[in-house]
Amino acid sequence: MSTPDPSRRAAFEVLKAVRTKDAYTNLVLPHQLGKYRLSGRDAAFATELASGTIRRQGTYDAILAACTDRPLANTAAKVLDVLRLGCHQLLGMRVAPHAAISTSVDLVRSEVGPGPSGFVNAVLRKVSAHDLDTWLTRLDADRATRYSHPQWIVEALTEALAEAGGGDEIDALLAADNAPPAVTLVSRPGRSSPDELAGEPTPYSPYGVTSAGGDPGALPAVAQGRAGVQDEGSQLVALALASARIDGDDARWLDLCAGPGGKAALLAALAAERGARVVANELQPHRAELVRRSLAGADGDLLDTVADGTAPPWEPGSFDRVLVDAPCTGLGALRRRPEARWRRQPEDLRSLVPLQRALLAAATDLVRPGGAVLYATCSPVLAETRDVVGSLLVKRDDVTLGDAAALMTAVAGLRSDVPDCAGPLQGTVQLWPHRHGTDGMFLALLRRA
């Protein structure tokens, strides 16, 4: 029996952690790469094998079901993990069929035992008989199967796109969700410069750089916390809040839901240049710890707290600027969090939407008259965007909707105009992976009269 190679073992461990511990692929991958001492091409192979397998799980399960006479639900979970990994090597990566099949057999023998090795060999040989396009044709695959998204997500994204005038773009959006995203870095102003980061400038954020490859943590600026890994869409959220015009003082800023801390760290750097103070709040202890790590060494007067954002401990009107980066379904970030498409359910909106509304209501109380609140989600779902903001505006005659779209311009200090970013309410912004190369961030600027 051959020993499974470290790259495939690492990918298998990632799938197992996602399945058994509700782990996040992007968080567990670095640990596994370190555990098996993978770098360079081996690390890239393991990363694509794990992430790509999870992204295309729905497609591969439909193909596997056609290649076996037993229900997939009756297949042992570890065996199914190996079959999915084998499918991605055969149909989504340039791995020779004999190598993909033999290494999968070695892996199942190592992780499960010799019993299912014949089954894995037989099923993957059937899979290898056709390429992916042929399989999709043979299965007469619908859009959900073709692009490996649950049907309810396809419907929610289609509705959101239609509201943004892109009703014919759903295939492009779903395809973008399945494309491995580039690693984007952020230079925190006053602490580092984009020139210190290896790569090309991002199209919109003046502090963003698309990584040239390799381990970002090996860059001194990232290792020292003077820069970080952050999607350009998330950078634009922090920049929009910092760029919004307000009346009067500009000394106290609040990030109400700060975990894991990327936006708070960028806000802290921007605020320090103005002598302002940032309060970074996060209720969940494990996320609060991530915030503390992100803010380690930040310049300026900064405070991290652990409080319930829906019942905050501060007096009304205590802040000049407030960011509400609300907990959401995350359907705008499926490129980076591939497991979310299988983990989220439609009923999640029943708990998330009331929480989003409560957080936004609290934020509008916490900002002083003349100040600004930026509400953001990494989801384009209308229940989490248009409906949350619209509900508040109906209830509050002292709150008005500002023009977040106007902040997406060079006048506001950004690198260039962001095209085709109109959101579902006039003045709001909706970014899209297929249009902008960012996560699908929604932004709404609100002002206290």
Burial classification of residue 385, based on how many CB atoms lie within 10 Å of its CB (0-12 exposed, 13-18 middle, 19 or more buried): buried
| Cα separation, 210 vs 203, whole angstroms | 9
**CA distances (Å), 401 to each of 310, 322, 447, in order?**
21, 14, 6
**Residue whose C-alpha is closest to residue 328's, from 374, 264, 375, 281:** 375
The rounded distance, in Å, linking the Cα atoms of 100 and 89 is 6
Query: Which residues does residue 323 pair with via DSSP β-bridges, in sequence order?
Result: 255, 374
The H or E element containing residue 231 is none
CA dist 384 and 399 (Å) reads: 19
Give the Cα separation of 45 and 57 in Å (integer): 18
Percent helix, strand and coil across the chain, each rounded to 5?
A: 50, 15, 40
CB count within 10 Å of CB 445 equals: 26
Distance CA 242, CA 268 (A): 10
Instruction: Enter the DSSP assignment of 315.
Output: P
CB atoms within 10 A of CB 398: 9
Strands of 38-120 (E only): list them: none
| Pairing status of strand 399-401 against strand 429-430 | unpaired
Q: What per-residue string of b and e applies to 60-78 under the rule 16 or more CB within 10 Å gives b? A: bbbbbeebbeeeeeebeeb
- Which of helix, strand or coil describes residue 448? strand
With tokens 């859009």, the residue in question is 143
328 classed as catalytic: no
Per DSSP, the three-state class of 322 is strand
Query: CA–CA separation, 245 vs 184, rounded Å?
Result: 28
Residue tagged active-site, from 87, 328, 378, 421: 378
Q: What residues act catalytically?
A: 378
